[in-house]
Amino acid sequence: MSIHQHTILVTLLLALPQAYAGHPCKPAQPPTTQTITRSMALAQRTAQALEAEHTRTGTQVVLLGRAGQDLTAYGLRYSHLGWAYRNPAGTWRVVHKLNRCGTAVGTLYRQGLGEFFLDDLWRYEAVWAIPTPAVQQALHALLQDNGRATLMQHQPYSLVSYVWGQRYQQSNQWAIETLAAAIEPRSIHTRDQAQAWLQFKGYTPSTLQIGAWRRMGARAASAHIAFDDHPSRQRLAGRIDTVTADSVLAWLQRTQLAQAPVVLAEQ
């Protein structure tokens, strides 16, 4: 599988492990042979499964997720989402947002499946949800248009950004705000408009229980984690409402915007 890569906003440097999403920011280390082998095997099996689905049903866009870190303490299984689409050449690409390690900045990337899974995964497992044909059509056009794909992009980044805030934006937040802009291109041009649509459609974020000491430690040690955008009352109570992969997958199925998630585990 090719690992040739393109980006939307900037050229993705070869030091790919320095960009994270749904993943703790750690010092850059070269991937091991075993890590590369397992990641590429997962990417290849995912590509084969998506291509089989395309042949069977015409699927051309899925919401693709991975497990970049252990979130079981919060009752979550997956950490990061991106929109995967089939381009005219018949190759599956992923548009998603990553945080540059050691910074509070998020950037959009257009990558192959190999790059998407080459991220020191906590669990070698893929998950995806297939949107309705109408939603796929709207997303397929948007994802291949750099201007439209970046419409909802907001550079200031926090891993736990407030679901209904605009001060920061994390990766899964960008994904669903972009979904809103794709479905309602005539009326949604800003993040607050996208969030209003998501509220109207009944999206419910995950509420993470994070105490004061843990918040203070995380904020002091990590440039990409901030809590000051959360409402004071909720923050002081340790209730952090943020967009998670699990909540998005559940919401898409509940609203019938997509089918039930499909899981592909390591063999």
Q: Is 75 exposed, middle or buried (0-12, 13-18, 19+ CB in 10 A)?
A: exposed
Q: What pLDDT was estimated at residue 21?
A: 56
Evaluate if residue 18 carries a pLDDT over 90.
Answer: no
Question: What angle (nearest 5°) sits at the alpha carbon of residue 133, between those of residues 54 and 198?
Answer: 125
Q: What pLDDT was estimated at residue 28?
A: 55
Going by pLDDT thresholds of 50, 70 and 90, the confidence category of residue 178 is: very high
Evaluate if residue 217 carries a pLDDT over 90.
Answer: no
Q: How many residues does the chain have?
A: 267
Average pLDDT, the chain: 89
Share of the chain above pLDDT 70, in %: 87
Interval 188-193 mean pLDDT = 98
Interval 45-57 mean pLDDT = 98
Give residue for tokens 């906590």: 122
CA 31 to chain centre: 22
Q: What pLDDT was estimated at residue 128?
A: 98
Is the CB of residue 160 less than 8 Å from the CB of residue 240? yes
At residue 249, what is the residue type? Answer: L
Interval 181-209 mean pLDDT = 98
Q: What pLDDT was estimated at residue 221?
A: 57
* Dihedral sign, Cα of residue 253, residue 258, residue 260, residue 265: negative
Q: How many helices (H) and strands (E) does the chain have?
A: 9, 10
Distance CA 231, CA 196 (A): 17
93 versus 211: the higher-pLDDT residue is: 93
Residue 95 — φ and ψ, nearest 5°?
A: -105, 125
CA distances from 114 to 16, 100, 159, 162, 222 (A): 12, 19, 23, 30, 27
Distance CA 263, CA 121 (A): 15
Q: Is 64 exposed, middle or buried (0-12, 13-18, 19+ CB in 10 A)?
A: buried
Three-state DSSP class for 239? strand
Evaluate if residue 165 carries a pLDDT over 90.
Answer: yes
Interval 116-123 mean pLDDT = 90
Interval 181-191 mean pLDDT = 98
Count CB-CB contacts under 10 A for residue 193.
16
Q: What pLDDT was estimated at residue 10?
A: 28
Q: For the ranges 47-61, 107-121, 193-207, 221-235, which has the lowest average pLDDT? A: 221-235
Evaluate if residue 244 carries a pLDDT over 50.
Answer: yes
Interval 114-123 mean pLDDT = 91
63 versus 210: the higher-pLDDT residue is: 63
Going by pLDDT thresholds of 50, 70 and 90, the confidence category of residue 101 is: confident
Is the CB of residue 99 less than 8 Å from the CB of residue 105? yes
Distance CA 26, CA 62 (A): 29
Q: What pLDDT was estimated at residue 266?
A: 87
DSSP 108: E
Q: What pLDDT was estimated at residue 220?
A: 52
